[in-house]
Structure 1
Amino acid sequence: MTTSELLQKSIDYIGENLKCELSLSELAEIAGFSTYHFCHIFCDFVGMPVTAFITKCRLHHAIYDVQNGSKLVDTALLYGFDTHAGFFKAFRREFGCSPTKFLKINTAIKRIY
């Protein structure tokens, strides 16, 4: 398998397990690399660190769920954010506005990576 195919296996796993706790060692094992090499190779191929990618995926899926009727607080906790405030802060950093404002001016799309 090529490096990109091995990384895609871990990306697919992330997409299927966004509501679970994900560890770097687990993802590295899926791709067949040491944790150190996995982190470096992932960042080179995807353009961002693994943890940033996971957070971005969780935010996209969470706002999609909120748009479709889920409560914001419950959704934030479901996707692994410790508090509503933590979700809000991560969301504002990613999208530049609050989740409520984002949904007023955008339609959320559930991204599959």
Structure 2
Amino acid sequence: MDRKKLVNESIDYIMQHLDGELSFDTVAAHFYISKYHFSRIFKEETGESVYSFIKRCKVDQSAIDMKLNPMKAITDIGLDYGYSASNYSSIFRKHHNTSPSVFRQSIPTQSMSVPFTPERVVHFKTAEEYDTHIEVQELNDLFVLYERFIGNYVEIEKHWYQL
């Protein structure tokens, strides 16, 4: 398997298993590759270690969960992603430069302006409302071409047209 394909598939695997027992070792084992070799490839291709990537994705996903489940306790959300109550708050603060409780209150849960077109506003529903509209369908096979952006999404506007 070529390096880019390995990294892309490993990122997909990580994203699908964020809420489970996910570690650097389990990802490398899933792809039947030495963890040391995998670590070097991942770091060279993404500029970030596998451990840092997993940690960042878990914190980012927990922030989304926090917004979608406003009645769920912050400590429970942290526990869902493998953090202890005290550890989650400090990691979240380090990553987002604010505490989880301030973050939860900072952006209205019901709506948010669209990046690049701030005059447009997207309105959100609760997780329960989204669940009521989910329909599972079997589709014919499709050929999909995609480009994955690896890097800091804070600067995505600068890189948008490269995609």
More moved, 10-19 vs 23-32: 23-32
Deviation at 1:26, TM superposition (A): 2.4
Q: Do residues 104 (structure 1) and 105 (structure 2) align?
A: yes
The structure where helix makes up a greater share of residues is: 1
The higher relative CO (CA closer than 8 Å, separation ≥ 6) is in 1
Q: Which residue of 1 aligns with 2:55?
A: 55
More moved, 99-108 vs 71-80: 99-108
Deviation at 1:7, TM superposition (A): 1.3
Say if 2:23 and 2:51, in contact at 8 Å, map to a contact too: no
Deviation at 1:105, TM superposition (A): 3.3
TM-score norm. by structure 2 comes to 0.59
Letter of the aligned partner of 1:67 in structure 2? K
Q: Which residue of 1 aligns with 2:87?
A: 86
Deviation at 1:62, TM superposition (A): 0.7
Say if 1:6 and 1:32, in contact at 8 Å, map to a contact too: no
Percent identity of equivalent pairs: 30
Q: 1:1-113 counterparts in 2 under 5 A?
A: 1-69=1-69, 70-81=72-83, 83-106=84-107
Report the Cα distance in structure 1 between the residues aligned to 2:5 and 2:17, rounded to whole angstroms. 19
Report the Cα distance in structure 2 between the residues aligned to 1:31 and 1:6, rounded to whole angstroms. 8
Q: How many residues get paired?
A: 109
Aligned CA RMSD, in angstroms, stands at: 2.2
Report the Cα distance in structure 2 between the residues aligned to 1:68 and 1:24, rounded to whole angstroms. 28
Deviation at 1:101, TM superposition (A): 2.1
Higher-Rg member (1/2)? 2
TM-score norm. by structure 1 comes to 0.83
Report the Cα distance in structure 2 between the residues aligned to 1:19 and 1:34, rounded to whole angstroms. 24
Shift in alpha-carbon separation, 1:98–1:40, aligned structure 2, 3 A: same
Deviation at 1:68, TM superposition (A): 1.4
Say if 2:89 and 2:99, in contact at 8 Å, map to a contact too: yes
Report the Cα distance in structure 1 between the residues aligned to 2:3 and 2:108, rounded to whole angstroms. 34
Report the Cα distance in structure 1 between the residues aligned to 2:108 and 2:12, rounded to whole angstroms. 24
Deviation at 1:56, TM superposition (A): 0.6
Which residues of structure 2 form unaligned runs of 5+? 113-149, 151-163
